Amino acid sequence: MTAAALPRRGDRTLPRPLESAIEFLRLLSKRPSGLIGFIGILFFLTLAFVAPLFVPNQESGDVTQLYETPSLQHLLGTDNAGRDVLNQIVQGGKEIMSVALITAFLTTLVATVLGSISALIGGRFDAALVAIADILLTVPPLIVLIVISALARPTNFLALALVLSLLGWAGLMRQVRAQVLTLKERDYVEAARSLDLGLIHIVFREILPNMRSYIVIHFVLAMTGAIYAQVALIILGLVPFSGKNWALMLYFAQTQGAFYFKDAFWFVFSPILAIILLQLSLVLFVNALEDIFNPRLRSS
């Protein structure tokens, strides 16, 4: 690209992204809970995608060590087949995180595109989309997901992410629409319209850049929603996954009756704790983001 050599109006100097990243970290460091959330997210990303490269996947367990309580050899004990629980926790984050990231990406993309187009086109198209979104928001999401999964049987994590995205876009779409409705009255959008720059240009160059903070917040929120729903579906046995996965550990624990077995406590508790801590990191981070982006709520 020659664009770097020819600076245009609105183009930024090169260190600007780095600068804003430093500014962001500075604002974040003033909010201890947000910083904890941010570190937590980094930790779980490392645990899910980097740690499995260094820790060997333990396939078979030791049948003489069933439901061992935590010890130096097995820091989180063993499961019903004598496999190390900590090893499963290390291996089992990748799928959960992948589904959460893909679903969040798809829902945010669909919601943002539909929401902005709906607001800009208006008329019947807008009314129809809002009606569909309203209907999706009224129906209990998990119940519909259960019915769809029972019928569609998503067998890989991409299919599961698609099923989850099908229902997740409505809330954000309505909010993006409301935002765009106010943004489109602004002068710069009017200017772009009078220059006849086209819908695509207006959406992607004029409106969306002004909603960045909003989109980031909802991306993280969509991740929490995706984690909530996929864990429930896997625990219910509706997603025929195999391999290592925190939610799958709970499904096996349930089929083995391990919930009511006192020695199996760490086997059941470890994946729950991992999922809760992941959700908590995301929520704390998103709270800090809202705080940073919304000066009205910012603590004085």
Partner 1 sequence: MAATTPADTKLVAQRFPTTPRASRARHILGYWRHPIAQALLKAFLTVFVTTTITFFLIRLMPGNPIDIKIDELTKDGAMSYDEARAQAASLFSIDLDKPVFEQYLSFVGNLAHGNIGYSFISQGTPVMAIVLAVLPWTLFSVGTGLLLSFSIGVFLGLFAAYNRNTKIDHILSLGGSIISAVPNYFIALLIVIVLGVELRWVPITQMRGATSPGMQPGFTLAFVGDVLFHAALPISVFFLATLGHWILGMKSATINALEEDYVNAARARGLSDGRIMTAYVGRNAVLPLVTQLAITAGLAIGGSILIEQYFVYQGVGLRLQAAVTQRDYPVMQGILLMVTLSVVIANLAADLLYSKLDPRIGRAGGATGT
Stretch that binds partner 1, among 77-85, 95-103, 207-215, 255-263 (CB under 8 A): 255-263
- CA 118-171-144 angle, to 5 degrees, is 115
Quote the radius of gyration of the chain (alpha carbons, Å): 23
DSSP 3-state of 78? strand
CA distance 75 to 273: 15
Residue 24 binding partner 1, by CB under 8 A: no
Q: Is 142 left (phi over 0), alpha (psi -120 to 50) or beta?
A: alpha
Residue 127 binding partner 1, by CB under 8 A: no
Residue 171 CB, shortest distance to partner 1, in Å, is 8
Q: What is the amino acid identity at position 231?
A: V
The encoded tokens of residue 59 equal: 């396939």
Residue 98 binding partner 1, by CB under 8 A: no
Residue 238 binding partner 1, by CB under 8 A: yes
Residue 284 binding partner 1, by CB under 8 A: yes
Strands (E), 140-206: none
Backbone torsions φ then ψ of 5, nearest 5 degrees: -80, -25
CA distance 114 to 212: 16
Residues 258-277 that bind partner 1 (CB under 8 A): 259-262, 265, 268-269, 272, 275-276
Q: Position of tokens 């864990």? A: 231
Residue 27 binding partner 1, by CB under 8 A: no
Residues 141-180 that bind partner 1 (CB under 8 A): 141-148, 150-152
Q: Is the Cβ of residue 50 or residue 276 nearer to partner 1 in the bound state?
A: 276
Q: Is the Cβ of residue 37 or residue 115 nearer to partner 1 in the bound state?
A: 37
Residue 152 CB, shortest distance to partner 1, in Å, is 7
Of 49, 105, 228, 293, the residue at the interface with partner 1 (CB under 8 A) is 228
Of 296, 176, 147, the C-alpha closest to 236 is 147
Q: Is the Cβ of residue 13 or residue 300 nearer to partner 1 in the bound state?
A: 300
Stretch that binds partner 1, among 133-141, 185-193, 202-210, 213-221 (CB under 8 A): 133-141
Residue 208 CB, shortest distance to partner 1, in Å, is 25
Residue 54 binding partner 1, by CB under 8 A: no
- 238 contacts: CB under 8 Å, gap ≥ 6: 146, 149, 150, 153
The encoded tokens of residue 8 equal: 């245009």
Residues that bind partner 1 (CB under 8 A): 33, 131, 134-135, 137-148, 150-152, 224, 227-228, 231-232, 235-238, 250, 259-262, 265, 268-269, 272, 275-276, 279-280, 282-284, 287, 296-297, 299-300
